[in-house]
């Protein structure tokens, strides 16, 4: 059976060259192309390729972040990074991918990478989840809504509210559930969100002030948001200092 491959690179000429090289490999079908990481994640959801040839430096979402989202898929594809980086720069994530190719990609090296993907499958992709603590913060959160993939830009999020084992992501266009711990999101996005309660993080750039409610409690007021978000007594002093600095 032919191996299904998705090509991801922001340079059309690079995609064209990889497609031409793949034609020479035999038993390979190019099922699609994408020009950035977000488009790649959406294409994998739609096309279900066996292998993704993934560039690293791309607009909207880079290749490393895209790979982290793909690692959460039930049946993730095998990832082969294609990059202009040298081997020393790749050492940090080499173990997390099936293989990597340094541009300009050579035909023989591409065949070797595809063979590795055929032999090892996507198992090593899960290792990318261990990078979360040290990797650069994601630009998007990935959710499922009625079985469909939804990518929410972190810049569009107003606040995050923990409910049971989920976190409800309240954003400009609505809300979605993600199966992530609020604490891990706070660690990853600490420069963007601030904790106001044990179950709530709010976007710093949405925080417009504090108001006292009829019940005597103090609540956060967010720009463009009507939600009533209570501030715990433990977090109140830090929030007051933050509001004064805005």
123 and 7, same domain (yes or no): yes
Over residues 3-26, the mean pLDDT reads 95
pLDDT band at 132 (very low <50, low <70, confident <90, very high): very low
Domain count, the chain: 2
Q: Are residues 127 and 8 in the same domain?
A: yes
Pair 144, 104 in one domain:
no
Asked if 113 and 200 sit in the same domain, the reply is no
Structure tokens at 4: 């299904």
**Which residues are within 8 A (CB) of 33 and not within 5 positions of it... i.e. 6 or more apart?**
6, 7, 8, 9, 15, 19, 43
E strands, 18-123, in order: 28-34, 51-55, 78-83, 99-102
Calpha distance 185→127 (Å, rounded): 19
The pLDDT, as a whole number, for residue 228 is 84
CA trace torsion 219, 221, 226, 228 (10° rounding): -10
Residues 75 and 94 in one domain: yes
CATH number of the domain residue 33 falls in: 3.40.50.2300
Instruction: Return the pLDDT at 145.
Output: 87
Q: What CATH number is associated with residue 199?
A: 2.40.50.1020
* Model confidence pLDDT, tens digit, residues 78-126: 999 998 866 645 554 554 578 888 889 999 999 999 998 888 765 555 4
109 and 10 together in one domain: yes
Q: Do 230 and 210 form a contact (C-beta atoms < 8 A)?
A: no
- The pLDDT-based confidence of 130 (bands split at 50, 70, 90) is very low
Distance separating the N- and C-terminal Cα atoms of the chain: 59
Whether residues 127 and 151 share a domain: the answer is: no
Same domain, yes or no, for 123 and 146?
A: no
Average pLDDT, the chain: 88
Q: Assess whether 18 and 106 both reside in one domain.
A: yes
Q: How confident is the model at residue 192 (pLDDT cuts 50, 70, 90)?
A: very high
Residue ending a domain, among 131, 159, 177, is: 131
Residues 15, 120 within the same domain: yes
Do residues 213 and 169 both lie within one domain? yes
Domain boundary among 131, 160, 191: 131
Looking at the structure, tell me whether residues 57 and 157 fall in a common domain.
no
Examine the pLDDT at 24 and tell me if it is beyond 80: yes
**Host domain of residue 206:** 140-245
State mean pLDDT over 192-216.
94
Q: Which of 101, 131, 161 is the C-terminal boundary of a domain?
A: 131
Pick from 186, 233, 192, 236: which is nearest to 210 by CA?
Answer: 236
Most confident range (mean pLDDT) of 2-6, 80-84, 225-229 is 2-6
């Amino acid at each position: 059976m032919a191996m299904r491959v998705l090509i991801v690179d922001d340079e059309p000429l690079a995609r064209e060259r990889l497609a031409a090289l793949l034609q020479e490999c035999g038993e390979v079908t190019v099922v699609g192309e994408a020009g950035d990481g977000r488009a790649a994640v959406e294409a994998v959801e739609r096309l279900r390729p066996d292998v993704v040839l993934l560039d690293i430096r791309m607009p909207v979402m880079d290749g490393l972040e895209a790979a982290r989202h793909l690692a959460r898929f039930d049946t993730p594809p095998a990832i082969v990074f294609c990059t202009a980086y040298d081997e020393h720069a790749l050492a940090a994530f080499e173990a997390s991918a099936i293989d990597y190719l340094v541009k300009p990609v050579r035909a023989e090296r591409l065949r070797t990478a595809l063979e590795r993907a055929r032999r090892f499958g996507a198992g090593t992709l899960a290792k990318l989840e261990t990078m979360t603590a040290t990797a650069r913060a994601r630009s998007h959160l990935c959710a499922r809504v009625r079985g469909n993939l939804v990518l929410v830009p972190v810049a569009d999020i107003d606040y995050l509210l923990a409910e049971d084992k989920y976190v409800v992501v309240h954003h400009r266009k609505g809300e979605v559930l993600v199966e992530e711990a609020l604490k891990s999101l706070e660690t990853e996005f600490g420069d963007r969100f601030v904790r106001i309660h044990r179950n709530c993080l709010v976007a710093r750039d949405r925080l417009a002030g504090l108001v006292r409610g009829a019940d005597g409690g103090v609540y956060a007021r967010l720009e463009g948001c009507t939600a009533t978000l209570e501030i715990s007594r433990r977090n109140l002093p830090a929030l007051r200092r933050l509001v004064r600095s805005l």
